[in-house]
């Protein structure tokens, strides 16, 4: 089953004036003035040769303003607003003089920030690049990287789910509930038998004859746990297969079907925290060197090849330092490397999915102001024009775009924890059962999600305190006709980074 839900407000920002203006303004304001633009072999900067050069050497990435508290912003706005950035002989820039410069890939402001004009007094705070949580909290929801043998198991599960059409066979109208349970049991046993047959033909044949699924419980748990772990680490993968897998496991845990299967097919997710806790190595997560050992080395045109190689060697030395310092008879060197590489995978996820949102926030704060409207760059929308369904002034639309991007950023930053909570809500045998209901977009499984809902409620309140004001409704749609269950919630917000990366 492939879910295509879109977060609330995505259409207004993706197709509305905010994205269109940012897409047009940002490249223009990052380029040099026309008098200083390099010339191609055949004249102006618009020829094909110059376009190819600019594609190979794109403009400098956007800058994020320095993180100031609201008190600092207000005090700085009243004392130091007379600085000037214009140099002798330099062409006037269209860039607003109300925003400071800040290195986007650094956690501290640039050296020129002390002479830069102050930020406008806005309570929105942007943390530096990297997750704002402690490493211990992050490790509880970071899955372990798959080994070679586990990847073979993953391919087996993917092939089995590809040949299965579970949701189409089960999530439809039946004459009675027993008829649907019979169809569920037939599809689930077919998948379980196919997994065992593909792994070992003799065991699979015995399973078909004896119908003893409890004997292979550990094998089923291992297969499905590997697929779930792979999906959390790679949200863009298994977009159709994961929905079938989640609903299949959800039905297999129902009391009506467990009476016939006599097997528990859902195992505990293997995380970095669980492995270190089992082998008495949690103190590893408190070492400040772990940030160097797990950072992702990103290509940067401002760095030379020697500098990048130096960062790579520094990371490798940090990993070896961890191995020498924390290896014990219980915690082996390969276990330490596996945990460090898994945390690095999480950092890579943040850079790939949260970075586009950070860029959009940086563009919005750098080139626009909620109180000042430059001619031709108004963000206001009018209902019925250009696909807009609301009427917002420039200030209201600016705040709406900022609050939406900030909320999406916080959710993406905590996506692995949300995914674990969503699976707990979906695959809990003690949780509330779902009801198959027509939501206006077909039959969906509507189910209450208490863990995901409370986590989302806390994050929403945190975002509201950071932004300071809120435009529109703050109702969390989860377990209703808009967002039927936790799977729809997760899929909805994993699209934000993908859309931002494709549009950015």
Question: Residue 290 domain-assigned?
Answer: no
SS3 160: helix
- Looking at 261, 295, 317, the residue that finishes a domain is 261
- At 126, the pLDDT band (50, 70, 90 cuts) reads very low
Regarding predicted confidence, which is higher, 195 or 60? 195
- At 131, the pLDDT band (50, 70, 90 cuts) reads low
Question: Residue 108 domain-assigned?
Answer: no
- At 354, the pLDDT band (50, 70, 90 cuts) reads confident
Q: What is the pLDDT, as a whole number, of residue 24? A: 52
Question: Residue 55 domain-assigned?
Answer: no
Structure-block tokens of residue 89: 């002989």
Q: What is the pLDDT, as a whole number, of residue 32? A: 43
- Looking at 261, 289, 322, the residue that finishes a domain is 261
CA distance 133 to 348: 16
Q: What is the mean pLDDT of residues 210-232?
A: 95
CA distance 195 to 204: 8
- Looking at 222, 238, 261, the residue that finishes a domain is 261
- At 90, the pLDDT band (50, 70, 90 cuts) reads very low
How much of the chain exceeds pLDDT 90, in percent?
51
How many whole angstroms from its chain centre is CA 215?
A: 38
Q: What is the mean pLDDT of residues 8-25?
A: 50
Using CA atoms of 311, 303, 342, 136 in order, give the dihedral in degrees to the nearest 10: 80
Mutual orientation of helices 450-467 and 486-503 as an angle, nearest 10°? 40
CA distance 271 to 229: 9
Residue 456 above 90 pLDDT?
Answer: yes
By the 8 A CB rule, do 136 and 286 touch?
Answer: yes
How many folded domains does the chain comprise? 2
Question: Residue 453 domain-assigned?
Answer: yes
Q: pTM above the 0.85 mark?
A: no
Q: What is the pLDDT, as a whole number, of residue 209? A: 93
Residue 120 above 70 pLDDT?
Answer: no
CB atoms near residue 396 (< 10 Å): 18
pLDDT tens-digit readout, 402-437: 999 999 999 999 999 999 999 999 998 777 889 999
Question: Residue 382 domain-assigned?
Answer: yes
CA distance 497 to 236: 10
Residue 114 above 60 pLDDT?
Answer: no
pLDDT tens-digit readout, 265-274: 999 999 999 9
The residue range of the domain holding 170 is 148-261
Of the candidates 482, 415, 481, the residue with the CA atom closest to the CA atom of residue 452: 415
Q: What is the pLDDT, as a whole number, of residue 95? A: 37
Of the candidates 477, 371, 357, 370, the residue with the CA atom closest to the CA atom of residue 407: 357
Backbone angles phi, psi at 43, to 5 degrees: 120, -125
Question: Residue 299 domain-assigned?
Answer: no
Question: Residue 166 domain-assigned?
Answer: yes
């Amino acid at each position: 089953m492939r879910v295509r839900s879109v977060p609330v407000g995505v259409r207004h920002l993706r197709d509305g004036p905010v994205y269109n203006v940012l897409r047009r303004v940002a490249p223009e304001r990052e380029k040099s003035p026309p008098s200083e633009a390099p010339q191609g072999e055949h004249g102006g900067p618009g020829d094909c040769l110059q376009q190819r050069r600019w594609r190979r050497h794109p403009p400098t990435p956007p800058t994020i303003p320095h993180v100031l508290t609201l008190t600092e912003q207000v005090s700085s706005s009243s004392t130091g607003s007379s600085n000037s950035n214009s140099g002798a002989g330099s062409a006037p820039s269209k860039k607003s003089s109300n925003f400071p410069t800040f290195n986007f890939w650094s956690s501290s402001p640039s050296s020129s920030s002390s002479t830069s004009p102050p930020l406008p007094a806005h309570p929105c705070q942007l943390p530096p690049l990297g997750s704002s949580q402690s490493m211990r909290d992050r490790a509880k929801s970071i899955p372990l990287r798959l080994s070679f043998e586990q990847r073979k198991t993953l391919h087996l599960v993917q092939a089995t789910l590809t040949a299965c059409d579970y949701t189409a066979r089960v999530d439809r109208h039946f004459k009675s509930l027993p008829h649907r349970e019979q169809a569920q049991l037939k599809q689930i046993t077919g998948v379980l038998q196919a997994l065992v047959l593909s792994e070992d033909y003799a065991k699979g044949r015995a399973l078909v004859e004896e119908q003893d699924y409890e004997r292979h419980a550990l094998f089923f748990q291992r297969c499905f746990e590997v697929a779930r772990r792979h999906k959390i680490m790679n949200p863009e993968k298994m977009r159709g297969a994961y929905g079938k897998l989640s609903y299949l496991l959800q039905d297999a845990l129902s009391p009506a079907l467990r009476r016939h299967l006599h097997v528990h097919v859902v195992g505990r997710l293997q995380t970095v925290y669980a492995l270190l806790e089992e082998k008495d190595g949690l103190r590893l997560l408190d070492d400040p060197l772990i940030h160097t050992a797990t950072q992702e080395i990103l290509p940067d045109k401002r760095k030379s090849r020697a500098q990048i190689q130096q960062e790579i060697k520094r990371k490798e030395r940090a990993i070896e330092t961890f191995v020498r310092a924390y290896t014990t008879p219980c915690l082996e060197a390969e276990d330490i490397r596996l945990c460090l590489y898994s945390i690095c995978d999480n950092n890579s996820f943040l850079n790939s999915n949260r970075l586009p949102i950070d860029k959009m926030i940086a563009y919005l704060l750098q080139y626009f102001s909620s109180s000042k409207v430059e001619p031709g760059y108004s963000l206001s929308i009018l209902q019925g024009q250009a696909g807009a369904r609301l009427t917002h002034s420039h200030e209201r639309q600016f705040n709406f775009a900022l609050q939406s991007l900030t909320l999406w950023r916080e959710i993406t930053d905590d996506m692995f924890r949300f995914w674990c909570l969503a699976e707990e809500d979906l695959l809990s045998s003690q949780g509330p059962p779902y009801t198959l209901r027509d939501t206006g977009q077909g039959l969906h499984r509507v189910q209450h999600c208490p863990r995901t809902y409370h986590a989302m409620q806390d994050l929403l309140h945190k975002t509201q305190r950071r932004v300071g004001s809120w435009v529109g409704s703050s109702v969390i749609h989860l377990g209703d006709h808009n967002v039927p269950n936790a799977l729809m919630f997760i899929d909805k917000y994993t699209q934000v980074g993908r859309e931002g990366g494709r549009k950015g």
